[in-house]
Amino acid sequence: MDIRIGLGFDSHAFADGVPLVIGGLKIDHPQGLAGHSDGDLLLHAITDALLGAVAAGDIGTFFPPTDPKWKGADSTLFLKTALEEVALAGYQIVNLDCVLIMHRPKIVPIAAQMRERVADLLDIDLKRVSIKGKTPEGLSHDGAAVAHVVVLLEGITIPNEPRVMVAETETPNEDDVETVLTGLAGDKHDISALGRKPAFDTDDLT
Ligand SMILES: C[C@@](CO)(OP(=O)(O)O)[C@H](O)COP(=O)(O)OP(=O)(O)OC[C@H]1O[C@@H](n2ccc(N)nc2=O)[C@H](O)[C@@H]1O
């Protein structure tokens, strides 16, 4: 079985005068999370987990925190790009498990809504998304929020039916079968050939 695992982490500091957005969900809270973008640490960690699972780099190489273009950016854009990379590499999400570490807000009362939003953004079933809250006991996490995400991917397999159909209609050689399958499913994607990934620039390091 062709499976991949990805790990994502992010942290942001709480600040006054900033709306709080976690997992694409706007949350009523006295403070928000400050960032170059909208500070959505959960979507950032999911984005990094997805990119990591297909070894496509990280959120900072795609959207450098030094680039004014991403100032105040909606993090759903980062997530969509990571989803494209996953699809181009030939994988789909099996499930993801997320831990949000912060004193406030409490996650349990909003977890169901957050899971729905994340599942919707990822276009997967709700049962495949787990989001848990954790109090940072004994840690110096005051004034900050942390997210950890692990994601499992599986390779998208081309159903065997076309191969069986070709084999049953004639007595083709392997080359004929491959020609028909490529016509039906397209070539296997090679993301390194797409040239989408921005060149890494050490000036982008913060
Ligand atoms: C989402 C964005 C939008 O601009 O900003 P924020 O809203 O979090 O501020 C960024 O993509 C958020 O990028 P993120 O990857 O979290 O930022 P950093 O941790 O500062 O890393 C920036 C880049 O430096 C690299 N990096 C970082 C630390 C390190 N010791 N070595 C590195 O090579 C990372 O791989 C990344 O490519």
| 12 marked as binding residue | yes
**Residue 93 near residue 122 (C-beta atoms within 8 A):** yes
Residues with CB under 6 A from ligand 1: 35-37, 39, 44, 58-61, 63, 65, 70, 204-206
pLDDT single digits (tens) 156-184: 987 776 666 666 666 556 676 666 656 55
pTM recorded for the entire structure: 0.82
Pick the atom of ligand 1 nearest to 37's CA.
7
Alpha-carbon gap, residue 204 to 75, rounded angstroms: 19
What is the structure's pLDDT at 1? 86
**Residue 58 near residue 204 (C-beta atoms within 8 A):** no
Taking CA atoms only, the protein residue closest to ligand 1 atom 24 is: 205
| 60 marked as binding residue | yes
What is the structure's pLDDT at 191? 44
Pick the atom of ligand 1 nearest to 205's CA.
24
Q: Average pLDDT of each block of 10 consecutive residues along the chain (206 residues)?
A: 97 97 97 96 98 98 95 96 98 98 97 98 98 93 93 89 65 65 53 45 57
Residue 183 CB-half CA count within 13 A: 9
Domain boundaries, given as residue ranges, for the chain: 3-157
What is the ipTM for the molecules in this complex?
0.92
**Residue 52 near residue 40 (C-beta atoms within 8 A):** no
| 37 marked as binding residue | yes
Alpha-carbon gap, residue 31 to 180, rounded angstroms: 57
Q: Which fold has domain 3-157?
A: 60s Ribosomal Protein L30; Chain: A; (3.30.1330)
Residues 6 or more apart from 101 whose CB is under 8 A from it?
A: 133, 134, 135, 136, 139, 141, 145, 146, 147, 148
